[in-house]
Amino acid sequence: MRTDKDNLKTVLVTDCGSTTTKALLFQKTSEGWRKTCRGEAPTTVEEPVADVTVGALNAFTEIQEVSKRTLLSGDEVKAPFQITTADNASHGIDLYLSTSSAGGGLQMMVTGIVPQMTTESAERAALGAGAIVLEALSADDKRDDHEQIERIRHLKPDIVLITGGVDGGSVSHVEEMAELILAASPRPRFGNTLQLPIIFAGNKDAAEEVSRILADIAQVSVVENIRPTLEVENLGPAREEIHEFFLTHVMSHSPGYDKLLSWTPVPVMPTPAAVGDMVSGYAKRQKKQVLCADIGGATTDVFSVFKNEEGKDVFNRTVSANLGMSYSVANVLLEAGADRIKRWLPYEIEESEVRDRLRNKMIRPTSIPQTKEDLWLEQAVCREALRLSLEHHRSLAVGLSGTQKQKGISDIFSQRTNRYQLVDMMKLDLVIGSGGVLSHAPERMQAALMMLDGFELTGVTEITVDSIFMMPHLGVFSSIHPEAAEEIFVHDCLIHIAHAIAPVFPSGISNGKEILEIRAEGKKIGVVVAGEVMTIPLKEGVEVELELVPLHKKVDIGAGIGSTLLKRITPGLHGLILDGRNRPLQDTSFSVENQQHVYQSLGVS
Amino acid sequence: MSRVLVPGLKILPRTEIRKRRELPLEGSVVVEVGQNVTSDQVVAEANVPGELFILRLPERMGIESFEVIEGMKVKEGDEVQKGDLLCEHSGLFGLLHTRFQAPESGTIEFIARKTGHVGLRLPAKPITVQAYMAGVIEEVDAGKGCVIVNKGTFIQGIFGVGRECTGHLHVLPVENNHEVQPSDIPDDVRGALLAGGARYTLEALRVAEERGAKGIITGSIDDSVLAGYLGYELGIALTGDEDVAMTLIITEGFGFLALSDHIRTLLDAHNGKEASINGATQVRAGAIRPEIIITSTEGLEHLSDTSDEEQGLRVGGEVRIIRVPYFGKRATITELPHEEEQIDTGAHTRVLRAKLSCTEEIVTVPRANVELF
């Protein structure tokens, strides 16, 4: 197979998910790189098949049938693909790649000393590497030792990441955490005969003793300290080691993966890590600040790239493990409360009815809404899941101030660092929605409204959805050919719905007052009215320069309070959404009539 | 009269049932292949390692860790009794004398040289695994578990809470669409698995528990009643470990839904017999649904044997609709269009047409929203 990007013309990529294996064919056409075909089949990691390649081959066969291109060689064990040659360009592929989240993905436990310092850094490293963090333990945990030990033993993580202590700092607390892990002796999920993989990324002075303590129960790998000083976070080495262990310990012991790994010259990536690479690479190349949410049945992943105080792009990923649209839908109900879900509905419904309907969705997760009222209820749940998962993301996506800042004596005693939130919605350029409820909403405007409401977008933000959850495939492809991956991302993956224009203004400005004027190429095309939501159609795909002029000295649209913002945009399907509802959205401003008005104003029927 | 729910749910009047019984850790299997077992018979046993206490001796004794190491009176692997001297230290020319005694009996698992911490492992606790279902031992996996086989009725519910238990079936003389009240619970239901009705009030559940019932099998449950019974709200459908006196299995869903006639017929046929039930539910890949097992086919001789293979949709087949606007209604499939159709939400999806049994109206329903019945 070829991995030199100049010679690639046909690339087959799979994402082996928990339930479905999705295969995509990417090809260099006369118009550039495009997704040309798609096939899918149920994932086969569980009994009775217990071999991931069976599902993958079924997906390949579907692509072969639809595309009329012969891809398979018949040798399913060693080399299942025909390789394209100069005299046989209409057959075969140049390269096969894959991502995987089958079998529950990569599950990790992390430990640190202080929750908002090393433990949090450990969490960020694990999440950024595509893991689900089962537990984040800190040395100051309030539970008794035996309770913590019981918890660790119960978890069965794939990998444990131990951090703690700046270099030259505390040794004893880190060693105590190692003792706890020794006492618990957790077994890895796969490969019962294997030792548990443990990565130590803490105080270098503790590395030797931690390795000694854990030598009998684990394979310990020591990497650079994740937090060498209070102000510096060094996630790279820990993330790379997590990927290495993922391949050598987790993937290779999952059913059939030894065969799958032999089919591709490029390491199989955890699905969320591939999505993260796609998002961060796109943000970097386009110089945009990006937020991406993938809302699934059980979990919601949030990815973001925001600039830190030094102007550098910082990538973050979080997983809200129990916020989802089917298996976890009742947990959204539990965390948000029925009233918060009901507030988005344009019709009256009893709370008990909401609760029973969502419980029934939980126990029959594959059922779909048949009536508009039922659809709107699911979309209301989605708004709350997005809101809660963004809250979670904000708490972990933090920047650390540089060493040039003086720290007070109280900061030293409290071990407080200059943490600041990276997520700044006013500076967000692009939001990407993914997952069935967003990607398959019957009307694109419904998806836009869910993200506008759930994230409470402010300023000027482009709203898009991922058409068929192609980002994992593009993420792993971007590791070989970033330009081609981005071309497909823009042309075939992203559906550009609209640009939201949502100014922020003082609560003293009453509803009905005009607060922002919109000009396009110098001509007035509309105004944002306080309390109102409306759309302005623009020609799709034709770049235009917008001039956004506050009509009140205290209105902010992103250029500073009272200042005019100039912004070049390429409009999507629905042009502009002007949102005059002030932020944060207040519970008191909701009523069935208001929601009916919002739906009608945006043409959501 | 073979009826199978898709996707996944099974109602099998006469079938071969196999249960794998496994120890959570290596131990010994105490039955042999071919042996008959009763549901309450122990089939395997093991010792679970006791809790590990980390004794932070430097902090507890007010001395340095190296002084702890110097003063240790025991070594790794030693068994100690509660009150035994573990460490002794004399300081300030013997004027300050500190001692540390074992707070519990156990084994010294480790003595950390740098921190001075001592790991004390408490004695192992024996655990046993019962057969849960009467039958014959078909297979033994030495040290791990066994497989029991028997013939009988196997019914999956849609949702449950509580652990596995056995008892005698007691079908209440109430209609399938009746809401069970405290007055419907007989005085003597000790050890019984109560079956019947559309749902229970919270008071009825409490009365059943007070009178000693071990389980409830009913059509549905109100979300607030479940929260009231458990004492908290469930977030995700992952159950089976709830600390409740009665295992609860619902067969239809949340809200108010009558127990299905088919399940009621089977329960009536087995009234008074021993049944094994388990509320464990996991609605994810590799789904687990709650189960009702009756290892008897007596009274069901007129039914043919059934396998648990899933059946597909077919014209003439009976379905239950599992989503509004026809939630809970039964219907007979009249047409299975091949092409996707647009439904009221605006989505395009594959549908079927079916005649509602209550009104004979023919309705269009997404295929994803029916279960074969």
Q: Per-residue pLDDT for A307 more than 80?
A: yes
CB A323 within 8 A of CB A381: no
Tokens linked to B191? 């050890």
pLDDT tens column, B255-270: 999 999 889 999 999 9
CA distances A241 to A198, A200, A219, A602, Å, are: 10, 10, 13, 48
pLDDT at B306: 66
- The answer to ipTM > 0.90 is no
Residue A404 pLDDT exceeds 60 = no
Name the minimum distance, in Å, from the CA of B87 to any CA of chain A. 20
Nearest residue to A552 via CA among A590, A512, A584: A512
Q: How confident is the model at residue A150 (pLDDT cuts 50, 70, 90)?
A: confident
Closest CA to A201 of A177, A183, A175, A228: A228
**pLDDT the model gives residue B308:** 57
Contact A356 B234 (CB under 8 A): no
Contact indicator for A438, A385 with CB cutoff of 8 Å: no
Q: What percent of chain B has pLDDT over 90?
A: 70
Check CB contact under 8 Å for B222 and A352. yes
Note the pLDDT tens digit of each residue in A546-572.
999 999 999 999 999 999 999 999 999
Residue A604 has pLDDT above 80, yes or no: yes
Q: Quick check: A362 contacting B, CB < 8 Å?
A: yes
A409/A304: higher pLDDT = A304
Tokens of A324: 């989802």
Residues of chain A found within 8 Å of residue B54, distances taken between Cβ atoms: 145, 176, 179-180, 183
The stretch A597-601 carries a mean pLDDT of 95
Residue with tokens 């419980």: A359
Preferred mutation among A148, A356, A357, A444 to probe B, highest tally of B CBs within 10 A: A356
Smallest CA–CA distance, residue B184 to chain A, in Å, is 25
Six token digits for residue A43: 């994932």
The string of DSSP letters for B18-56 reads EEEEE-SSS-EE---TT-EE-TTSEEEEEEEPPPEEEEE
φ, ψ dihedrals at A198, nearest 5°: -125, 130
pLDDT digits (tens, 9 = 90+) for B3-38: 333 454 788 999 999 999 988 778 999 999 999 999
Structure tokens that stand for A213 in this block: 């303590």
Q: Which residues contact B358 (CB under 8 A, 6 or more apart)?
A: B329, B330
Bridge partners of residue A419, in order along the sequence: A400
Residue A418 has what pLDDT? Answer: 66
One DSSP character per residue, B156-225 reads: E-SEEES--EEEEEEE-SS-TTPEE-GGGS-S--TTEEEE-SSEE-HHHHHHHHHTT--EEEEEEE-HHH
Output the average pLDDT for chain B: 90
Helices (H), chain B: 57-61, 65-71, 202-210, 223-230, 261-269
Whether residue B64 is predicted with pLDDT greater than 70 in this model: the reply is yes
For residues A285-311, give the mean pLDDT: 92
pLDDT score, position A42: 81
Q: Is the pLDDT of residue A270 over 90?
A: no
Region A454-464: mean pLDDT is 98
What is residue B69's predicted lDDT score, i.e. its pLDDT? 93
Distance CA A353, CA B256 (A): 11
Chain-chain contact of B236 with A369 (C-beta, under 8 angstroms): no
> A322 and B52 in contact by Cβ < 8 A?
no
Q: Quick one: average pLDDT of A79-96?
A: 84
Residue A11 and residue A93: Cα distance in Å, rounded? 6
- B62-to-B56, B88, B110, B326 alpha-carbon distances in Å: 10, 12, 20, 71
Q: Percent of chain A, pLDDT > 70?
A: 96
Mean pLDDT, rounded, for A140-169: 84
Kindly state the average pLDDT of the residues A230-252.
85
Give the span between the Cα atoms of B228 and B243, in whole angstroms. Answer: 13
B70 forms beta bridges with: none
Q: Convert the pLDDT of each residue in B206-225 to its tens digit.
A: 999 999 999 999 999 999 99
Determine the residue type at A577.
I
pLDDT value, residue A589: 76
pLDDT of residue A278: 94
Q: How far is CA B224 from CA A29, A112, B177, B210, B235, in A?
A: 58, 39, 19, 20, 13
Q: According to the model, what pLDDT value does residue A517 have?
A: 98
The shortest CB-CB distance from B345 to any of A334, A365, A369 is to: A369
Predicted local distance difference test score (pLDDT) of residue B2: 32
Cα–Cα nearest to B115, from B74, B55, B71: B55
CB neighbour burial string for A389-422, b if at least 16 within 10 angstroms, e if fewer: bbebbbebbbbbeeeeeeeeeeeeeeeebbeeeb
Q: What is the mean pLDDT of residues A6-34?
A: 92
Q: What is the pLDDT of residue B6?
A: 41
Q: Is residue A209 less than 8 Å (CB to CB) from chain B?
A: yes
pLDDT for B124 equals: 87
- Which chain B residues are closer than 8 Å to A365 by Cβ? 283
Four-residue CA torsion sign, A535, A536, A539, A543: negative
Give the model confidence (pLDDT) of B44-57 as tens digits.
Answer: 999 877 777 889 89
Q: Which helix (H) or strand (E) holds A382?
A: helix A372-396
Give the confidence band of A413 by pLDDT, cuts at 50, 70, 90: very low
Is residue A602 very low, low, confident or very high in pLDDT (cuts 50, 70, 90)? very high
DSSP type of residue B138: E
Residue B86 pLDDT grade (very low, low, confident, very high; cuts 50, 70, 90): very high
Does residue A407 surpass a pLDDT of 50? no
